[in-house]
């Protein structure tokens, strides 16, 4: 058995789900060791800042939105596709 706060690769392999849930409940990384050397860590998501995504509208899409739609959907699709 490894020190508290760490597990061996063998232990991780034997009970992966248990250790992943344990790491998720914790407040610090759960170290994974191989022959006494730390080789990885299971880290709870709470230690990472929340991801924020900035929406980027491509110029082609903005131009498409600005265009008036015609009654011919196929012609509109051809205009969007161009020479693909």
| pLDDT, tens digit, 9 for 90 and up, residues 18-49 | 999 999 998 899 999 999 999 999 999 888 88
Domains contained in the chain, CATH given: 6-46 (3.40.1620)
Cβ partners under 8 Å of residue 47, min gap 6: 27, 28, 29
Give the three-class secondary structure for 32: strand
Rounded to two decimals, the pTM is: 0.56
Phi-psi region of 72 (alpha: psi -120 to 50; beta: other; left: phi over 0): beta
* 32 phi, psi to nearest 5 deg: -110, 125
């Amino acid at each position: 058995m490894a020190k508290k706060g760490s597990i061996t690769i063998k232990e991780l392999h034997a009970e992966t789900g248990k250790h992943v849930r344990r790491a998720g409940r914790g407040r610090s990384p759960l170290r994974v060791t191989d022959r006494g050397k730390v080789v990885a860590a299971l880290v709870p998501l709470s230690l990472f800042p929340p991801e924020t995504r900035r929406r980027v509208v491509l110029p082609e899409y903005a131009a498409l939105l600005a265009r008036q739609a015609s009654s011919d959907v196929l012609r509109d699709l051809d205009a969007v596709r161009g020479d693909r």
